[in-house]
A and B are shown apart, each in its own frame.
Chain A
Amino acid sequence: MEFFHVKRDIPFMSYGKLTTAISLGTFILAIVFLISKGLNFGVEFTGGTVMELRYQQSVEINQVRHGVEGLKYGEVQVQSLGSTKDVMVRIPNIQGKTSAQLSNEVLDSLKKERADVELRKVEFIGPSVGDELFTHGLTALILVCVGIVAYLMIRFEWRFALSAIIANMHDVVIILGVFALFQWEFSLTVLAGILAVLGYSVNESVVVFDRIRENFRKPNLRGKTVPEVIDNAITATMSRTIITHGSTEAMVLAMLLFGGAALHGFAMALTIGIVFGIYSSVLVASPLLLMFGVTRERMIKPEKIKEEAVV
């Protein structure tokens, strides 16, 4: 059985201008959302107290919100956690009150209204930890990029490294943009997800790059132009690209659907990341490669002809 056996090479590179324009558009849009709306940072970054509550019977979010706001803690967030029974309450850090006090007060006041509430999780994060996480996250991101660029420069050449990293950062920014647009909570697991996307997406670009390099060496593609060689490489790996992404997406969707609230953000970041991973490896990284002026001669080091000793 074969779904994606394309006989003739698809001229991806001739659409290069269009696709890069599209991705530039989405990229800019993502940045606009990031700036205008900003990320909805989770408690790990901002500090504060988060409580997860479960009611025996379904509950009105507004009722809970009302109950918590009555305590006057400032900017309190009350959200439903996937079902009508699970509720999440976020309280900012308050001077002079410990999280245990805060959570007890909230629970007491909620118990007055509905006795069937159960505390499932309390998280308190001090303000200093968040800043550090931020710098650590950023360091990890930079280190990942440097590592990838260095490896690709050694294995391929700088043009490949540069296009791969631009394509990847494009994915990361778009995921961040989506999180900003929908104001989904940006937690530590989401950060893990995004960093995993970085690894995943570069994986994609590398597979295509590998094929491009191989094609340059193939004798039967010698007469072809560089865009044709790239088109051939993308077409040849198409089937694999779609199947691999399909499998990984199946796994991630299973996590999104069955993993519950705790894995939701992580699975969401990956779901988006995988979709853009395909797009960017094929339609962003490769046109960029062409733009940076990759040529056959640069890829294949001329073989030194051994001089035979004359006796």
Chain B
Amino acid sequence: MNRYPLWKYILLIVTLVVATLYTLPNLFGESPAVQVSSGRVTVKVTESMVAQATQIATAAGVTPIDAYFEAGSVKLRFKDTDSQIKAKDAIQSALGSDYVIALNLVSDTPAWLSKLNAKPMVLGLDLRGGVHFLLEVDMKAAVDKALEKTSGDIRRELKAKKVRYGKITKERDRVEVQLRDAETLAAATKALRDTLANLKVESISADGNYKLVVTYPETALLQLKNDAVKQNITTLHNRVNELGVAEPVIQQQGEGRIVVQLPGVQDTAKAKDILGRTATLEVRLVEDDQAKLSEALNGNVPVGYELMTERHSSGKSVPILVRKEVELTGENINDAQAGFDDHNAPAVHLGLDSTGATIFKDLTRENVNKRIAMILIEKGKGEVVTAPVVRGEIGGGRVQISGSMGVAEANDTALLLRAGSLAAPMEIVEERTIGPSLGKENISKGFNSTLYGFAAIAIFMMIYYRVFGVVSTIALGANLLFLIALLSLLGVTLTLPGIAAIALTLGMAIDSNVLINERVREELREGQSPHMAITNGYKHAFDTILDSNITTLIAGLALLIFGSGAVRGFAWVHCLGIMTSMFSAVFVSRALINLIYGRRRNLTTLAV
């Protein structure tokens, strides 16, 4: 009666083997590595870079142990820190400033394990040292900016439609337009409803006072805030790249917050300086006179001009001569989105504010059939993103850039144009610096306390419950194995509270085993046969285990949903731990007990 069918054992063995496989990477150490990633949005690191980087390192006399491509960057593993630094210098000088070459630590997980997607647990900053920032996006400023833009749009639109309007005022959360009479009100309403499709346009006429109120509905406001945060994240990514940090984390947290984590960085002042820096976009005129260009190429740049490079979609860099005067800056660009033009070709749509629109209108009118350059100034160095030919006057503040670009390039360019500056100012609301030695200490202390606690429980269980205690201990060990495998597999970031959760979960997991063992003892005491005692013991204990674990799980889930930072790190591990402990207490321990006692016909006593 206490026998499991073969398939259950096979299932058990398979889960154990899989769990062991995914736990294994945590046991291998780490070795020094060099990481090559892109330093600019226009530069993409691809698989082909692996061979190139290996070649450079080998030429410098340091052959990497391993080289591979992962998540947009190339990693080269070395046997010691000396060759790591040597390789870094060699690669940096060979590839130049378009690439970020960072020192990193990479797991020594063998390739065959990595192929199975087995990787070690991700360690939080409190376990490996580094800086952590929590930035808050000033949403009020973002909304203000958008309202400003909307009032400009209204002014332009009404002018274009030849509707006479009075004062346009920007209130806290809306734009109001004064109008003379019911007729102009109706005309204005109609005109604006068409152009501002996603906004709410209300016409109010009372006591001879005609006005139009434009507000952002909830969805538009949400979209606006989301875009602001997204753009700020993109900008931060570009800036952090400059620091040469191996694995930076830049993520949205909550509605308007951004977390930036820079492992290994100790110099907070420099990090903050770079996070606060702005990149800008400039529009300048292109000089297409071949004579002047070739003169400039010979090292004789004419006065008032500057030689730059233009990156073509083919990846080639072409020299281009541009005027020094800046016609328009990124300050006047409100928005850039990738899309399609009238001929269904990929294009980038720019939205300019009212000043920008006027400048651009004049600029295009006076320079038909000439080229204008869109230049992104990053790290004090300019690069021409695109240089289209002006076909005619462009008014209305809506600019379309199209040409020989694909969908991907259009996306990149839009991103680039948006990436220059922040959508809304940000401030640091939380900052943490954790020294690397403290991180190491935290790991060892957390690990030791778990180990000692586990040992104490194991010894007690084995003495107190004998065979059943040994089984419980094995089940508890299996639980730990499952938990670590799951954490590694899911890529949950392990923090110090997470380690605490592992310890606590193990302490609590033994509860299920104790419940079972006590139940079996009780059944025996009531005079049942050993086999009946096992069956009923497990059966009765199961209801209790289910109830108590589900209530604990409810608590854990609430922590996961509403907690932040330390609490969430704890909750993740806690919730996973409850689930693995139910599985191991019920299934693993039963399988073992069945294996030990199941085949014995004339079983008279149980070692419990």
| Chain B binds chain A | yes
Question: Footprint of B on A, CB under 8 Å?
Answer: 1-3, 44, 52, 98-100, 118-126, 128-129, 133, 136-137, 139-140, 143-144, 147-148, 151-152, 155, 187-189, 191-192, 195-196, 198-200, 202-204, 206-207, 210-211, 214, 236-237, 239-240, 243-244, 246-255, 257-260, 262-263, 266-267, 270
The answer to whether A254 and B511 touch (CB under 8 A), given A136-B564, A140-B558, is no
B500, A259: Cβ atoms under 8 Å? yes
Partner of B511 from A98, A123, A198, A248 at Cβ < 8 Å: A248
Kindly state the separation between the CA atoms of A121 and B497 in the bound complex, as whole angstroms. Answer: 17
The closest CB in chain A to the CB of B552 belongs to A199
Which B426-481 residues sit within 8 Å CB-CB of chain A?
A: 427-435, 437-438, 441-442, 445-446, 448-450, 452-454, 456-457, 460-461, 463-464, 466
Would you list 11 pairs from A and B whose C-beta atoms are within 8 A, ordered by A residue?
Answer: A100-B272, A118-B435, A120-B437, A122-B433, A144-B554, A151-B550, A199-B555, A202-B552, A244-B514, A250-B456, A254-B450
A192, B460: Cβ atoms under 8 Å? no
Give the size range of B's interface with the partner. 35 or more
A140, B562: Cβ atoms under 8 Å? yes
B139 adjacent to chain A (CB < 8 Å) = no
Kindly state the separation between the CA atoms of A129 and B136 in the bound complex, as whole angstroms. Answer: 10
Contact with A along B496-519 (1 / 0, CB 8 A): 110111011011101100110010
A251, B453: Cβ atoms under 8 Å? yes
Partner of A210 from B506, B543, B553, B554 at Cβ < 8 Å: B543
A126, B500: Cβ atoms under 8 Å? no
The closest CB in chain A to the CB of B551 belongs to A202
A243, B464: Cβ atoms under 8 Å? yes
B562, A136: Cβ atoms under 8 Å? yes
Which of A139, A207, A251, A270 has the most B CB atoms < 10 Å from its CB? Answer: A251
The answer to whether A120 and B438 touch (CB under 8 A), given A140-B562, A263-B446, is yes
Partner of B551 from A126, A196, A206 at Cβ < 8 Å: A206
A210, B497: Cβ atoms under 8 Å? no
Kindly state the separation between the CA atoms of A204 and B515 in the bound complex, as whole angstroms. Answer: 11
A195, B433: Cβ atoms under 8 Å? no
Given contacts A143-B558, A210-B543, 11 further A-B contacts (CB under 8 A): A124-B430, A144-B558, A144-B559, A188-B565, A203-B551, A250-B453, A251-B453, A251-B507, A254-B452, A258-B449, A263-B449
Kindly state the separation between the CA atoms of A278 and B538 in the bound complex, as whole angstroms. Answer: 24
B453, A254: Cβ atoms under 8 Å? yes
Partner of B430 from A2, A126, A243 at Cβ < 8 Å: A126
B521 adjacent to chain A (CB < 8 Å) = yes
A203, B442: Cβ atoms under 8 Å? no
A248, B507: Cβ atoms under 8 Å? yes
Which 7 A-B residue pairings sit nearest by Cβ, starting from the closest?
Answer: A199-B555, A251-B507, A126-B429, A254-B453, A251-B453, A248-B507, A140-B562
Kindly state the separation between the CA atoms of A210 and B514 in the bound complex, as whole angstroms. Answer: 15
B566 adjacent to chain A (CB < 8 Å) = yes
The answer to whether A128 and B563 touch (CB under 8 A), given A250-B456, A251-B506, is no
* B475 CB, min distance to chain A CBs, angstroms: 13
The closest CB in chain A to the CB of B270 belongs to A100
B269 adjacent to chain A (CB < 8 Å) = yes
B562, A200: Cβ atoms under 8 Å? no
Which of B432, B448, B552, B558 has the most A CB atoms < 10 Å from its CB? Answer: B558
